[in-house]
Amino acid sequence: MEIKDIKKTAEREISLVKTLKELESFENKYLGKKGILTRILRSLKELNPEERKKIGKEANELKEFLQKEIERKRGQLQEKHIEEKEKKEWIDITMPGKKIERGHLHPITLVRTQIEDIFQKMGFSVVEGPEIENEWYNFDALNIPKEHPARDMWDTFWLRQNELKMQNSKLKMSQRLLLRTHTSPVQIHYMEANKPPIRIIAPGRIFRYEATDASHEINFYQVEGLMIDKNISIANFKFIMEEFFKEFFGRKTEIRLRPSYFPFTEPSFEIDVKCSICNGKGCSVCSYRGWIEMAGAGMVHPNVLKAVKINPEEWQGFAFGLGLDRLTMMKYKINDIRLFYSGDLRFLKQF
């Protein structure tokens, strides 16, 4: 075949090329290692000098021509490819954006920070303790005797890993691990690490092994309080508690102290707040008592101070444990504690 015929065929073929892949096989066919032109150029040496000159020239011209044509075609096809891609990935920049909804704090967190603010204004520091405790911190150091029902298998979440170790058993009973049943062990941690005077609150999560209903959950929140100094009396205690509840529920709020029992305080009290719904007359919210129990409290028992090597002759103080969930429920008039942990947005969006 003459070179000019090859050129004609090639021109026709390249005009029909529609994709980059087709272009590649076209290029191979003519200019590849075993391509038509490559073969011609290679076989030139077999020709006589005159023919070699003529065909060599023509073949080289065609090679250059095809190279240019291939580059031109490649440019076109690439442009087309990009255009098509853009068409497929087209976005409407005038379309309104997707609204990202902003979250907000959980009601328990809102109330916790509010409580922290009130106590910080009265000179209390906010501290934290671990959620996994051993029996010493959760019970012994708090003067809770061995036979106390809270230590029962059925009232507390014990950690199994440790039970196993106990069977092998070099561990003492008091080193058994559990999920703390109250925030009171933070008192012990803090007093071990710090000398009086002490003024702290310790908000945190606690765990109880119990059936859930509208007022019981297996985990909830408490705010522990502890004040240790010289000459601290029940009068100081009552003032601080009254001040807290007035700041929290409003200045008109009234509280009362009712005698109670806790192993780690002596004397011990329950703190009641006058029911704001019926103003003390009695209604369904306060179970017709007129008052609602809000906290356990009392003067720190000398045995607790001795357990952390603080001299009870020199230092005294009071402690209290507020139910954070209960306070939040009262504040926002929520009638089921389980709502806090349900993750139900219809509930949460109201705060």
Q: Which stretch binds ligand DAH (CB under 6 A): 44-52, 67-75, 192-200, 291-299?
A: 291-299
What CA–CA distance (Å, rounded) separates 156 from 187? 20
Site for ligand DAH in 182-211 (CB under 6 A): 182, 184
Label residues 89-104 b or e (16+ Cβ within 10 Å = b). Answer: eeeeeeeeeeeeeeee
Residue 152, classed as helix, strand or coil, is coil
Which of residues 90 and 154 has its CB atom nearest to ligand DAH in the complex? 154
Which of residues 27 and 217 has its CB atom nearest to ligand DAH in the complex? 217
What CA–CA distance (Å, rounded) separates 253 from 242? 8
Which of residues 18 and 146 has its CB atom nearest to ligand DAH in the complex? 146
CB 161, min distance to ligand DAH, A: 25
Size of site (CB under 6 A) for ligand DAH: 11
CB 348, min distance to ligand DAH, A: 26
Q: Does 297 bind ligand DAH (CB under 6 A)?
A: yes
Which of residues 107 and 321 has its CB atom nearest to ligand DAH in the complex? 321
CB 317, min distance to ligand DAH, A: 10
Which of residues 107 and 298 has its CB atom nearest to ligand DAH in the complex? 298
Q: Which residues are paired to 319 by β-bridges?
A: 226, 298
Residue 193, classed as helix, strand or coil, is helix
**Phi-psi label, residue 327: left if phi above 0, alpha if psi -120 to 50, beta otherwise:** alpha
Q: Does 301 bind ligand DAH (CB under 6 A)?
A: no
Site for ligand DAH in 250-279 (CB under 6 A): 262, 265
Q: Does 224 bind ligand DAH (CB under 6 A)?
A: yes
Q: Does 27 bind ligand DAH (CB under 6 A)?
A: no
Question: CB–CB of 240/317 below 8 Å?
Answer: no
Question: Structure tokens of 189?
Answer: 């941690």
CB 142, min distance to ligand DAH, A: 8
Q: Which stretch binds ligand DAH (CB under 6 A): 213-221, 235-243, 315-323, 329-337?
A: 315-323
What CA–CA distance (Å, rounded) separates 184 from 209? 17
Which of residues 10 and 206 has its CB atom nearest to ligand DAH in the complex? 206
Label residues 152-182 b or e (16+ Cβ within 10 Å = b). Answer: eeeebbbeeeeeeeeeeeeeeeeebbbbbbb
Which of residues 184 and 316 has its CB atom nearest to ligand DAH in the complex? 184
Cβ within 8 Å of residue 312, ≥6 positions away: 302, 305, 306
Which of residues 40 and 141 has its CB atom nearest to ligand DAH in the complex? 141
Q: Does 320 bind ligand DAH (CB under 6 A)?
A: yes
Q: Does 138 bind ligand DAH (CB under 6 A)?
A: no
Q: Does 178 bind ligand DAH (CB under 6 A)?
A: no
Label residues 227-256 b or e (16+ Cβ within 10 Å = b). Answer: bbeeebeeeebbebbbebbbbbbeeeebbe
What CA–CA distance (Å, rounded) separates 342 from 349? 13
The binder of ligand DAH chosen from 156, 298, 326, 334 (CB under 6 A) = 298
Which of residues 73 and 180 has its CB atom nearest to ligand DAH in the complex? 180
Q: Which stretch binds ligand DAH (CB under 6 A): 30-38, 45-53, 56-64, 317-325?
A: 317-325
What CA–CA distance (Å, rounded) separates 223 from 216? 17
Q: Does 237 bind ligand DAH (CB under 6 A)?
A: no
What CA–CA distance (Å, rounded) separates 330 from 65? 89
Question: Structure tokens of 279?
Answer: 């103003």
Q: Does 319 bind ligand DAH (CB under 6 A)?
A: yes
The binder of ligand DAH chosen from 223, 296, 316, 329 (CB under 6 A) = 296
Residue ranges binding ligand DAH (CB under 6 A): 182, 184, 224, 262, 265, 296-298, 319-321
